[in-house]
């Protein structure tokens, strides 16, 4: 098995230059880097991860913590982050914190601190001050996705504005009886996402003088099955059936479409439906939605993290707003149309 010395001799450089060229740490001219890589390929030299981490203090591994693994949104953010990390030569270690508080403490007090990760991406997790400080004290940069975190660079969606946009789309079509399927205290996610989306929905109605009707709100758990059950109750009411439904996630919106069909209702002729996310099944169901581009969120988090891993390029803590976009499909139309 050829070693670093053989690569250095073939490329005509020092072993230190070979190390910098292949690790990406330190300045090496493009021509020299190309020559070193060509020599490594010709000799079949593979960088030892153990040796590299001892020399640089880096493991080329990033820890990613998420609240759920079986939800499309979270897995899509992780997928985007993973693709970007691979392009930078980094591995990913995933921690799913859907269990109890002991599991979370174990991850933050032991695994992330003791296991060899260079940095952490927290997706839709509202980290405590002690969790943040313990990681930063160990010189492990953090990037948050989903909401602001004191002392941390973050990316976040304005959930109130997302909900207002979805509701305003229904209002612009002429709907005045608009129901909302959101969350309750039992399913309140970090950064209070369900609450913010309900606030945005209510603000859009109040802006055009429509009073808030508590009977047009139904709580669910942000799953397709939960949305189906909630929609069955809202749409099955013969005295106060809404003409439109804004669901706080696409999965709940798809559940609403299925519930409407099971009740013999036509979407959008009898009821319009809009969600949030642009789920991979949204186009199949013709679902109008507000897209929030989760894979892009993961990629952007990694780009910020790469800056944080270089002390000379680190920026101060800030919260960067993420883009969202209304996508109109066939699940929304004018009332009765």
- CATH code for the domain in which residue 150 is found: 3.40.50.2300
Helix 30-43 with 15-23: angle, nearest 10 deg: 100
278 and 316 together in one domain? no
List pLDDT tens digits, range 49-65.
444 444 445 678 898 98
The four Cα atoms 23, 26, 29, 32 give a dihedral, to 10 degrees, of -40
List pLDDT tens digits, range 122-148.
998 888 888 888 888 778 888 999 888
153 and 30 together in one domain? no
The listed range with the strongest mean pLDDT (19-23, 38-42, 142-146) is 142-146
164 and 265 together in one domain? yes
User: Among residues of the chain, what percentage have pLDDT more than 70?
Assistant: 90
Confidence category of residue 209, pLDDT binned at 50, 70, 90:
very high
Q: How many CA atoms lie within 13 A of 63 on its CB side?
A: 21
pLDDT value for 217: 97
104 and 195 together in one domain? no
List pLDDT tens digits, range 74-87.
999 999 999 999 98
pLDDT value for 5: 83
Q: How many domains does the chain have?
A: 3
219 and 252 together in one domain? yes
Task: Determine phi and psi for 245, rounding to 5 degrees.
Answer: -135, 130
153 and 168 together in one domain? no
Compute the distance between CA of residue 162 and CA of residue 144 in angstroms, rounded to an integer.
19
163 and 121 together in one domain? no
pLDDT value for 2: 75
Residue 175 pLDDT exceeds 70: yes
- CATH code for the domain in which residue 37 is found: 1.10.260.40
Q: Is residue 308 part of a domain?
A: yes
Residue 116 pLDDT exceeds 90: no
Q: Are 124 and 69 in contact (CB under 8 A)?
A: no
262 and 305 together in one domain? no
Q: Is residue 230 part of a domain?
A: yes
Q: Is residue 328 part of a domain?
A: no
Written in H, E and C, the secondary structure of 207-258 is HCCCCCCHHHEEECCCCHHHHHHHHHHHHCCCCCCCCEEEECCHHHHHHHHH
Q: With a threshold of 0.85, does the pTM exceed it? A: no
Classify residue 269 by its DSSP letter.
T
Compute the distance between CA of residue 169 and CA of residue 194 in angstroms, rounded to an integer.
19
C-alpha pair distances (Å), 312 with each of 26, 303, 306, 309, 316 = 12, 15, 11, 9, 12
List pLDDT tens digits, range 83-110.
999 988 899 988 888 766 777 777 877 7
Q: Is residue 306 part of a domain?
A: yes
Compute the distance between CA of residue 217 and CA of residue 184 in angstroms, rounded to an integer.
10
189 and 122 together in one domain? no
Q: Which domain holds residue 196?
A: 159-291
Do the bridges between strand 325-327 and strand 319-321 make them parallel or antiparallel, or are there none, so unpaired? Answer: unpaired
Q: Are 304 and 154 in contact (CB under 8 A)?
A: no
Confidence category of residue 18, pLDDT binned at 50, 70, 90:
confident
């Amino acid at each position: 098995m050829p070693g670093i010395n053989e690569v250095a001799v073939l490329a005509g450089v020092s072993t230190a230059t070979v190390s910098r060229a292949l690790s990406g740490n330190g300045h090496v001219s493009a021509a020299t880097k190309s020559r070193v890589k060509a020599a490594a390929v010709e000799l079949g030299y593979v960088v030892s991860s153990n040796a590299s981490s001892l020399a640089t203090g880096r493991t080329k591994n990033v820890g990613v913590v998420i609240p759920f693994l079986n939800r499309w949104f979270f897995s899509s953010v992780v997928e985007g982050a993973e693709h970007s990390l691979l392009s930078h030569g980094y591995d990913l270690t995933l921690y799913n914190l859907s269990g109890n508080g002991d599991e979370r403490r174990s991850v933050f007090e032991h695994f992330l601190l003791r296991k060899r990760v260079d940095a952490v991406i927290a997706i839709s997790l509202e980290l405590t001050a002690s969790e943040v400080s313990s990681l930063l004290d160990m010189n492990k940069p953090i990037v948050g996705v989903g909401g602001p975190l004191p002392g941390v660079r973050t990316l976040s969606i304005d959930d109130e504005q997302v909900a207002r946009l979805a509701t305003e789309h229904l209002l612009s079509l002429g709907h005045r009886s608009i129901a909302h399927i959101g969350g309750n205290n039992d399913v309140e996610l970090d950064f209070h996402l369900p609450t913010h989306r309900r606030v945005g929905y209510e603000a859009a109605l109040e802006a055009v003088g429509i009073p808030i009707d508590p009977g047009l709100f139904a709580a669910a758990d942000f799953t397709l099955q939960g949305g189906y059950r909630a929609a069955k109750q809202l749409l099955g009411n013969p005295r106060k059936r809404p003409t439109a439904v804004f669901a706080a996630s696409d999965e709940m919106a798809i559940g609403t479409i299925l519930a409407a069909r099971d009740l013999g209702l036509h979407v959008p002729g009898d009821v319009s439906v809009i969600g949030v996310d642009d789920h991979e099944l949204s186009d199949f169901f013709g679902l109008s939605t507000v897209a929030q581009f989760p894979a892009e969120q993961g990629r952007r988090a990694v780009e910020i993290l790469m800056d944080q891993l270089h002390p000379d390029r680190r920026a101060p803590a800030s919260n960067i707003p993420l883009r969202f976009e209304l996508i109109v499909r066939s699940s929304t139309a004018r009332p009765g149309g």
